[in-house]
Amino acid sequence: MNHDKTVVMVARALMAAIFIVSGLRKLFSWSFTLGYFQKLGLPVAELVLPLAIALEIGGGLLLLAGWRLRPVSLALAAFTLAAGFVGHAFWAVDAAQFTPQLNNFMKNVAMTGGFLLLFVLAGQTGRGGASRSADTAAG
């Protein structure tokens, strides 16, 4: 048994979980999330919301499956970093919210780093560190 493949699969599942759950929560609480996006000042929140849901659920499932890891990793890295700046602006909150928002912002930064690492590993060895990827098998 190749333990590296197992670890890579578990790592991708752990990374994917937050996106799949978050996308489903947005989908099932559409009105609340739309109001939150509008409160954040997102332009055309009515268009951003379905795009965010599609990226979170779709990207999470693709990440879980290990399909097209390089473009998926870059898309999720960009989305995660942007979400950190938009949704966790610790520099613009009151003192009571500073620490939780800073922690969430730094979580997004760390996740972005993980996606960039996955991008590099997927390019070097296939499925994010495994020996063969669905990308290679698909041609």
Q: How many CB atoms lie within 10 A of CB 53?
A: 19
> Residue 126: pLDDT band by 50, 70, 90 thresholds?
low
pLDDT of 129 > 70? The answer is no
The full set of domain ranges for the chain reads: 3-133
The pLDDT of residue 131 is 45
> Residue 108: pLDDT band by 50, 70, 90 thresholds?
very high
Name 105's Cβ contacts closer than 8 Å, sequence gap at least 6: 84, 85, 88, 89, 90
pLDDT of 44 > 70? The answer is yes
Give the number of residues written for the chain.
Answer: 139
Tell me the pLDDT of the chain averaged across its residues: 90
d(CA 77, CA 91): 21
Contact status, residue 128 vs residue 15, Cβ threshold 8 Å: no
The pLDDT of residue 4 is 85
> Residue 124: pLDDT band by 50, 70, 90 thresholds?
confident
* Comparison of pLDDT for 19 and 133, the residue scoring more: 19
Helical ranges in 29-94 per DSSP H: 30-39, 45-65, 69-87
> Residue 27: pLDDT band by 50, 70, 90 thresholds?
very high
For 4, the token pair is 């590296």
H or E element at residue 68:
none
The pLDDT of residue 29 is 97
d(CA 30, CA 22): 12
For 14, the token pair is 């752990």
Q: What is the dihedral of CA 112, 117, 123, 127, to 10 degrees?
A: -90
Q: What is the DSSP letter of 2?
A: -
d(CA 51, CA 134): 25
The pLDDT of residue 137 is 37
